[in-house]
Amino acid sequence: MPQPDDDRTAPEGALPGLCPPSDLNPRRETPLDFPDSEFGELSADDYRVLGFMSGLEVHQQLRTAGKLFCRCPAGRRTTKVDGEVLRHMRPTLSELGEYDGCALMEFKTRKEIVYQLERGSVCTYEMDDTPPFPVDPEAVRVALEVALLFNLKLVSELHVMRKQYLDGSIPTGFQRTAMVGLAGAIPFRVPELGVDRELRIRQLSLEEDSCREVSDIGHRIVFRTDRLGTPLTETVTEPDLFTPFEVQAAGRLIAATVASTGKIARGAGAARQDTNVSIAGSRRIELKGVPSHRLLPRLVHVEAFRQLNLLKIRAELEKRGVTKAQLQVADKVLPWQGSPLVLEASSQLRHCDYAPVRDAIDRKETIAAVRLPQFGGLLHRRTQPGITFAREFADRLRVIACLTGRPFMIHSDVKDYGLDRAEWRQLRAALRAEQWDAILVCWGPRDDVATAVREIFLRAQDALVGVPAETRQAYADGTNGFERILPGADRMYPDTDTPPVPIADAVVAELRAGLAERPWERSGRYMQAGLDERSARWLARAPWAGLFDALEPRSPAVARRVASALEKRLPFHARTSGRPLPPPHRVRPLVEALEAGTLRSEAFESALDALLEDPGLPPDVVLAELRPSASEDPAALDVAVRRTVEESSELAGRPLPTVLRWAMGRVMPDLLGHVDPRLVQARLEEALAAVHGPAGGAL
């Protein structure tokens, strides 16, 4: 029976069993001379040279009344705690008689897992004390509808599977999931990116959501269970995205497509995506928990270059002749007792005045110094913006060895900070380090430091692979950090608790007949109505698309004016007033007035603003105030022009167009809706030219 630490003693190079070949980028030669580049510096061609490939996994909570496999309410968010359950994770043999690498990693962390329960949102099913109830039929219908929207081939029966979930966020250790459809495609058209092709959708699953994490400190992780079991769809694309902005556009397209069912949950955490990235010569790395589409391009760019930088480091190690055999440490004893590469350094550092080490000594903790042969100068190499290769080690120590209280590690590439020269010299001598060797020092409780030292060697061995198979967590600044080593390939197995659920042809036919309009169909319709492609696409995904439809603009000019005003004004008003969209019956009179010519086009936005600012204001009153009437007070324009020309003397010497812009800004607000702006401009231009001269009086 393998010991917990034997999980990654795979032969040199790949990690068989942990990563199927499809995880490798189809191009095997890395362009190692490609310079490290900031986000925003590269063209689509540059990404092609890099072999950049990316795909998405989009999770969307459904707005159903109940959870997927029990009758608890879905979508209930609470901070109340009625009780707590404590669990420990232990690895068990899989049905194939093997340990899963991911399970072993979680076991190594020796975590205490706490579930906070609230009576109204959780029952014994979520805590694995009762078998699942029949799958929620409403959720199945929505999932089928989404699958149809993506043109997927539907399954004839839902087969519930168990997907291993070992981070503790699901108490059973697995997630129940059922594939609903597979192998589809949707039109992917983004003219500003030069994209006009299909986006292949690999599959859509209906699954239960995991717990919300409350905190994860040291050896204790706390989860809240209200979200656990909420139905969600998981949409997986093929890696068909070849630039960072394509990833973003695809994310938006998928979200909009799922949303067109009108049956999805909104708000924090309701939609989450993972993205995978690889470059030539690398393997697919999954970035988990991307919070927003806005962040996607930077995240995937940064990950592409992390991979490139790791592959450059591998090339350098190869050049230096480093082998895996040089990076081994004894397994059965404390690492500093059985290896010339590791030293318990408390005595060398007993006079150290670097505060973190000093504190560790005072706390009687263990301080280990590790020699990495030929790694000198590499730990300081940049892998991500503001992040060096050393972070790859520090992340593993934090996550797997649970070292906390940063900093818990320092290395010899750092100069003039931390340990002084004499201390480094002593450590080098004690470890018999040569010129190009690097020294890593870490400190903490003894058992954690023992795990940490083993982890340092495992990560150093991974440096010879280049890009280790792991999942990584997306951060809000666009960088990412180690989350866990990749789960085993065989992490899905049938759920014996749930019988297959047949999908009736009649249900599919009914759903197909009433299928929601898809974003690309919607934007096609808006282009027919007179909008340009960008506005049409934007409107098709906007929350006010329904409002626009209800306003029924008839002429293309009115449609354009209304779409543009809604896009400009509604987000602003929603932000400042917090009020929902106005009901269509209030805005419709303005649109009708536009069509009839009784509201001037340029006055529409002001009219809309007036309605949005005061929900009680009758549209008639707004329209009366802005009614066009050239004859109402013919002198008003004359007066305004004369007064403005007089005031314009302060602008003497400025170019005429500048003065004219200023003058329009003075005159128009009072005349808006009443007088054609072209007439005002003509009158002002004539009068100003007489005073300021046609050349603008620049002389």
The residues of the shown chain that bind Zn ion, judged by CB under 5 A, are 70, 72, 123, 125-126
d(CA 599, CA 588) in angstroms, rounded, equals: 12
DSSP symbol at 24: B
Q: Which residue has the tokens 């390939």?
A: 489
Please say whether the beta carbons of 640 and 594 come within 8 A: no
What's the closest the beta carbon of residue 227 comes to Zn ion, in angstroms? 12
- Between 229 and 519, CB nearer to Zn ion: 229
Selection from 145, 155, 178 nearest residue 257 by Cα: 145
- Between 121 and 346, CB nearer to Zn ion: 121
- Between 123 and 155, CB nearer to Zn ion: 123
What's the closest the beta carbon of residue 133 comes to Zn ion, in angstroms? 8
- Between 127 and 574, CB nearer to Zn ion: 127
| Cα 296 versus chain centre, distance | 5
Report the helix count and the strand count for the chain, using DSSP H and E.
21, 23
What's the closest the beta carbon of residue 207 comes to Zn ion, in angstroms? 15
Selection from 239, 213, 284 nearest residue 25 by Cα: 284
What's the closest the beta carbon of residue 125 comes to Zn ion, in angstroms? 5
- Between 132 and 291, CB nearer to Zn ion: 132
- Between 169 and 237, CB nearer to Zn ion: 169
What's the burial of 358, exposed, middle or buried (CB within 10 Å: 0-12/13-18/19+)?
Answer: middle
What's the closest the beta carbon of residue 268 comes to Zn ion, in angstroms? 22
d(CA 585, CA 413) in angstroms, rounded, equals: 69
- Between 131 and 338, CB nearer to Zn ion: 131
Helix then strand then coil, in percent of the chain rounded to 5, is 40, 20, 40
What's the closest the beta carbon of residue 67 comes to Zn ion, in angstroms? 6
What's the closest the beta carbon of residue 396 comes to Zn ion, in angstroms? 36
What's the closest the beta carbon of residue 129 comes to Zn ion, in angstroms? 10
- Between 126 and 246, CB nearer to Zn ion: 126
- Between 15 and 72, CB nearer to Zn ion: 72
What's the closest the beta carbon of residue 122 comes to Zn ion, in angstroms? 5
Please say whether the beta carbons of 561 and 586 come within 8 A: no
- Between 123 and 464, CB nearer to Zn ion: 123
Q: Which residue has the tokens 């689509």?
A: 44
Angle between helix 533-541 and helix 556-577 axes, rounded to 10 deg: 40
- Between 133 and 475, CB nearer to Zn ion: 133
Please say whether the beta carbons of 106 and 39 come within 8 A: no
- Catalogue the long-range contacts made by 94-101 (C-beta closer than 8 Å, 24 or more residues apart): 94/488, 94/490, 95/493, 96/490, 98/2, 98/17, 98/488, 99/2, 99/4, 99/7, 100/164, 100/166, 100/487, 100/488, 100/491, 101/7, 101/8, 101/15, 101/18, 101/485, 101/486, 101/487, 101/488
What's the closest the beta carbon of residue 61 comes to Zn ion, in angstroms? 16
Cis peptide before 11 (omega within 30 of 0): no
- Which tokens go with 362? 């005072």
What's the closest the beta carbon of residue 492 comes to Zn ion, in angstroms? 23
CB atoms within 10 A of CB 120: 12
Q: Which residue has the tokens 């009219």?
A: 607
Letter for the amino acid at 426? Q
What's the closest the beta carbon of residue 160 comes to Zn ion, in angstroms? 16
Question: What is the 3 state secondary structure string of 134-154?
Answer: CCCHHHHHHHHHHHHHCCCEE
- Between 122 and 637, CB nearer to Zn ion: 122
